Amino acid sequence: MDFANADDASFYFYADAGQSTATVSEGGTRLDVVIAMGGALGDLTATATISR
């Protein structure tokens, strides 16, 4: 994941970054993800929900 207009603001998923999850619910119409990542600025957790 990269952030526009920011130096060294790239984050990457890697196996030891921490727990990540993906959950499909509501009959397959909703996806929730939590992804642990790390980068030059430290660690972060990205979250997203996609539904239709």
Q: Residue 33: inside a domain, yes or no?
A: yes
Q: Residue 5: inside a domain, yes or no?
A: no
Q: Residue 28: inside a domain, yes or no?
A: yes
Q: Residue 37: inside a domain, yes or no?
A: yes
Q: Residue 2: inside a domain, yes or no?
A: no
Question: What is the reported pLDDT for 5?
Answer: 66
Q: How many domains does the chain have?
A: 1
Question: What is the reported pLDDT for 35?
Answer: 92
Q: Residue 8: inside a domain, yes or no?
A: no
Give pTM, 2 decimals.
Answer: 0.71
Question: What is the tens place of the pLDDT at every residue in 2-52?
Answer: 766 666 678 888 888 889 999 999 999 999 999 999 888 888 899 999 999
No. of helices (H) and no. of strands (E), the chain: 0, 4
Q: Residue 9: inside a domain, yes or no?
A: no
Give the integer Cα–Cα distance in Å for 11 and 20: 14
Q: Residue 27: inside a domain, yes or no?
A: yes
Give the integer Cα–Cα distance in Å for 34 and 19: 8
